[in-house]
Amino acid sequence: MRFFLYAGCALIAQLLAVAPALALEIQLPAETAMLRPGAAKGTEATALCMMCHSVDYLSTQPPMPRGFWQAEVSKMVRTYGAPIPADQIPLIVEYLDSAYPPARPAASR
């Protein structure tokens, strides 16, 4: 029994010793997509969304009503655990509603 304990410890020590040699260094491509202009206050808060995924997750959505964005932000927080302060949520929804879809040209309003 004691042998297995010692052998186990030795194995763990060996694994720890070689671990740094196995560390891979990866270089991610620079992020090029940016948040669209929109309700100024919420733009900064929406940058919090980019800690997990790129802005493409927003810009590839079809034009959606405000309720969709409200539900999306809730899902990110409740289901995926996005650490976004509660007081920032209305600002983010406001921003998303103003910028995704982008503002319509003045002539079509």
What is the contact surface with ligand HEC in residues (CB under 6 A)? 49, 51-53, 57-58, 61, 72-73, 75-76, 80-82, 84, 92
Cβ proximity to ligand HEC, 20 vs 96, nearer residue = 96
Lookup: tokens for 40: 């100024």
Q: Taking the complex as a whole, how short is the minimal distance between the CB of residue 100 and ligand HEC, in angstroms?
A: 9
Report the nearest approach of ligand HEC to the CB of residue 3 (Å): 45
3-state secondary structure 40-77: HHHHHHHHHHHHCCCCHHHHCCCCCCHHHHHHHHHHHH
Q: In the block, which residue shows the tokens 């590839």? A: 60
Q: Give the Cα separation of 70 and 57 in Å (integer).
A: 15
Give 32 or 79: the residue with its C-beta nearer to ligand HEC.
Answer: 79
* Contact status, residue 42 vs residue 94, Cβ threshold 8 Å: yes
Q: Which is nearer to ligand HEC, 5 or 47 (CB)?
A: 47
Report in angstroms how near the CB of residue 86 gets to ligand HEC at its nearest.
Answer: 12
User: Which of 29, 83 has the CB closer to ligand HEC?
Assistant: 83
